[in-house]
Structure 1
């Protein structure tokens, strides 16, 4: 092959390689363009922050409406309304759960929707979060369901005597333990009365002592206590405490139990009848200064207590710190042990340390 022929061949090879390189570059550029277009389409079709998390937003709105309209939930089916109201503060726990989901989804709509349940919860319970107590009180009252199965009534009585309460109400007193409480409390409290399963011990004189008929149907309740525990079934009393500021009407009550039954739902028939009867007694009370101490087996938010809470206010709400949950003692989730007042001013309210009971004692300082 001559030099001229070799040169022509090399030129042809170079030309072929150059053409192939240009084609490859053109292919690469085309693929990059297609990938860019796909990315743009994906970005354009991805929902924005206001369109993401619409399910979470809907759940947040439903939660807010649920708490806002709790009084509209009917009791016709298993006392559902009362059950919801009993645990109403705890529905606030769903708020941080929904907030975590909204942040994970980066959903502006869900975060905005959460403003409704937050505002409703704060309106219902925000006032309980701070300490509202004030120094100074004229009288300290306390109440405790001592528990029929309490293994240490002596220790419980001594703890209550050491609390410094001027007036002490006890519920669920058994025949076996009554003598123990009377003996242990005698030194601190020279005046006392026991009516059935409830009693009142006082450092001040008592008068006008009488049982209060709260219309209990006691048959089924006999099955709720250990077989070796004997109970009388008068569960409410009314007396007058003589103070330096005048007479004070004091009611002590232990309303019927509430039960969650798979067939009946939230069963409160006995308790609700007792609440109505107790409300009627308080409505007829002539003394303008009244204190109700007791285990009501329900929270003040429960509509079943409207006849009572419309006439008396909660010392815990007015002068306490927090929710003041009292039951069960090991991990309290509801406040069913109440101090309610009329005609006196709560200065402070608190929960006392645990005893051998499954309830926590409660106390309040009141002033004229």
Structure 2
């Protein structure tokens, strides 16, 4: 009788483990369906791109638990992890390359309007000795403060609307860009740098809000069209794109330029600065090798700054 009781308990435990494992596999199937939705343009794809990291963490936990409970169910469970890795592949870190004498280093940050952070951001970024400093979400006071800090060391500058660039190298051309927004949140400059002429686009994309993201998507699509028409051999597009790395809205720009992936850290997330959960500040390039790409704290902004070194090919 005692043995029958033990057998019953063992069978009951096995049944519970199987049932739990099946529930976890079902959970991973649901996660997989959500990940697939991340390739849908528009609000759905944008939302999923922000949630990819937690979705991956949950999927990995589920898969490990399934392996512990019912090993034969681990294979279908792990399929979701593989799908997730495929989805986040564009955001995975890259190995740093070698910097050369023709390298150009650019520091870029959203300084956060009304934060009074223009002076602090400019000071902290200047201490990194980049060739170019680009700032977005500038208001009048932060623009003036940044100019005061950077004027001597960075004698070549151009600002328009909420964006600005300061350079130690001459600017041979400069123009504002509205990218269909109707007011200036982007600019284009041509820099005479150590490796020759470089075409640089700086953007502060329209904000992403639930049910109101068309302005952002239109700006990003317009930037991609502008870059497509640019015959320059060396092109850089950077700034606050208000789009996570895997957001479908970036696919047109990604078809024209290569996304610079982080070479330090794991994610290169930039926002919010206190505890970064998503990367919305990016650098895209054409005609360069990536020497390094990292994030740094600067000023009082709610964004981390990007610091990127590119070498001409």
* Partner residue, 2:267: 323
Residue deviations 1:125-151 (CA, integer Å, cap 9, x gap): 468665611342411012111111223
Instruction: Say yes or no: does 1:268 pair with 2:213.
Output: yes
Identify if the C-alpha distance between structure 1 residues 39 and 321 changes in structure 2 by more than 3 Å, giving closer, same or farther.
closer
Highest CA radius of gyration, 1 or 2? 1
Written as runs of structure 1 = structure 2, the 5 A alignment for 1:1-368 is 34=1, 36-37=3-4, 39-40=6-7, 43=10, 47=14, 51-52=18-19, 53-67=21-35, 69-73=36-40, 75=42, 79-99=43-63, 101-102=65-66, 106-125=69-88, 132-137=95-100, 138-216=103-181, 233-260=183-210, 264=211, 267-316=212-261, 319-368=263-312
Find the aligned partners of 2:213 and 2:90 in 1 and give their Cα distance.
28
Contact 1:329–1:354 (CA<8 Å) still a contact in 2? no
Identify if the C-alpha distance between structure 1 residues 303 and 127 changes in structure 2 by more than 3 Å, giving closer, same or farther.
closer
Residue deviations 1:277-322 (CA, integer Å, cap 9, x gap): 11111111121210012101112311112221111112125x4542
Find the aligned partners of 1:277 and 1:135 in 2 and give their Cα distance.
33
Contact 1:49–1:109 (CA<8 Å) still a contact in 2? no
Q: Structure 1 residue 46: deviation in Å? A: 6.3
Find the aligned partners of 2:234 and 2:52 in 1 and give their Cα distance.
30
Contact 1:51–1:109 (CA<8 Å) still a contact in 2? no
Contact 1:207–1:240 (CA<8 Å) still a contact in 2? yes
Find the aligned partners of 1:289 and 1:271 in 2 and give their Cα distance.
25
Give the aligned length. Answer: 309
Q: Which has the higher contact order (CA 8 A, sep 6+)?
A: 2
Q: Supply the RMSD in Å over aligned alpha carbons.
A: 2.5
Find the aligned partners of 1:44 and 1:175 in 2 and give their Cα distance.
72
Alignment gaps of 5+ in structure 1: 1-33, 218-232
Q: Structure 1 residue 90: deviation in Å? A: 2.7
Q: Structure 1 residue 194: deviation in Å? A: 0.6
Q: TM-score, normalised by structure 1?
A: 0.76
Contact 1:129–1:321 (CA<8 Å) still a contact in 2? no
Identify if the C-alpha distance between structure 1 residues 35 and 192 changes in structure 2 by more than 3 Å, giving closer, same or farther.
same
Q: Structure 1 residue 96: deviation in Å? A: 4.1
Residue deviations 1:212-269 (CA, integer Å, cap 9, x gap): 121115xxxxxxxxxxxxxxx4111111000232210001110100113xxx3xx312
Q: Structure 1 residue 363: deviation in Å? A: 1.1
Q: TM-score, normalised by structure 2?
A: 0.89
Contact 2:134–2:202 (CA<8 Å) still a contact in 1? yes
Find the aligned partners of 2:171 and 2:39 in 1 and give their Cα distance.
43
Identify if the C-alpha distance between structure 1 residues 90 and 292 changes in structure 2 by more than 3 Å, giving closer, same or farther.
same
Find the aligned partners of 1:126 and 1:275 in 2 and give their Cα distance.
21
* Partner residue, 1:27: none
